[in-house]
Structure 1
Amino acid sequence: MEDLRQPSAAERVRTLVESRVSAALSIPGIEPDELGSGVPESRAVNTDGDVILLVPADSPAARAVAHAQDDEATAVMEITDVAPVSVPHRIRGRARVAGWLTAVRGPALDEAAKLLAAHDPTGPSAHSRRWTVLRLEVGEAYVDDLWGEKHIEPEDFLAAEADPLCRHEAELLQHLATAHPDQVERLQHLLGEDALRLVDRRRAVPLALDRYGMRVRFCGPYDGFDVRFEFPEPVRDVSGLRREMHRLFEAAH
């Protein structure tokens, strides 16, 4: 049983897919070109649990799908989650989503375009001839991150929801690290005596945020370790997060 006070493996993969962290498509037998067009410009997940991808029209992925015509092209999307703050060992996790890639055409294209625009309002238009919209039907997924590693079934990926903070996490962590470093450091006062001795003379860096809590990395000159500070109740949005962070900082005084 997974802890109900932490995101499930399926939720973590879904969060990474719907976040803005780095992702790249690979198709067996095809190498991405030097321009890096194996990287989707934007991505989202539809109500069927398929990953909708916006890629350059001349990208290897778009060409492979066009060559396959009505058949499906096998593809893997690799996601690398790098901490948006300066901290040792910045890679927080990796995820892999494998499945079958097809082009989105006809009436479904309008729905896909709306979905992509909702996730990335400043991104390019999905209707532009310079871009192609693809659908990745999920066959399997895998995550290896700060919580551990696990394989995820397609039905679990479909049922999961992305963390409500995932689109804002990077800016929130950067704000905490630059504007509130003293308050983050004072969180050590919430630890027991044994842990307090370990964090002595270590720099405290906010490493990860989700609706259940915040992870802080205490960094020394040669090593470091993480501490998880949980919220009493999961937050639903940024406003809820601000309230919980205020309570957390008040408790640490």
Structure 2
Amino acid sequence: MVDVIIKKLKKWYRKAERHVVHLAWILNARFGPKLSTDLTEKATIIIPSYSLERIKNIEPLTRNLLKCEFVERIILTNNNPQVSIDHYVKIEDPRVKTINQTVRHGCAYRWELTGLENAKFLIGIDDDLLLFPKQISYLFKRLVEKPEVPHGLIGTFDSNYYLNREMEVDVIHEIYAISQTHLRRYLELYEEITTRGLASVESIEFWSDDLLISRTGTGRPNIHDAGYILRCKTAVKTGVALYQDEEFKLRRDEVRNALDT
């Protein structure tokens, strides 16, 4: 009986904590202060959007990111032709660029956008990850300090899932802080394995760009502890979260095998 009560209390606490943090995130987007750092380097941030259920996250996420002085540009690529991101994002800032794709694309398409070749550092963020300015700043500092490997906040090592850790991992997920060198290497890997027929374009574009990005450094990618990670409620929702797709494991195994060939 006591165990049941404790379990229910823990569940209630986690739910309450998320509500409080989410409210703080929304308020910070509108009323939070600018975040200054001692960084001289600049970053371009790419946020792809796919789902109507998540597109409402894009404006508050963008507003939070714009509070970081090191953010030089934010590219919002809407990969769902059925909607226009301009109906949901009302931000007048020269650093923000919105793109409405005419063809549905997967997550990997963000790395093929025109203009990225001019950015020294890039950060790709999935549309269900709701970050505060201090979190993205902490991650960017780690990239600048150690630019030879990709950096993130979430990852897997030896098939185990980790977050809120300072460690090396095999694969980073959901957020990717990389250099121009990593981007070029990603595009080389993409071209190599698709041209040779080792993996399909679709398997990479919709399910597996994280596997390629994680192989672009001189060593394993690093993840970092930037505090509580707030996610959209749809992060685990069937029909929205890609990892819930029936093809997910099969497609990723295809790409993983191609990389190991």
Structure 2-normalised TM-score?
0.23
* Higher fraction of strand: 1
* Higher fraction of helix: 2
Structure 1-normalised TM-score?
0.23
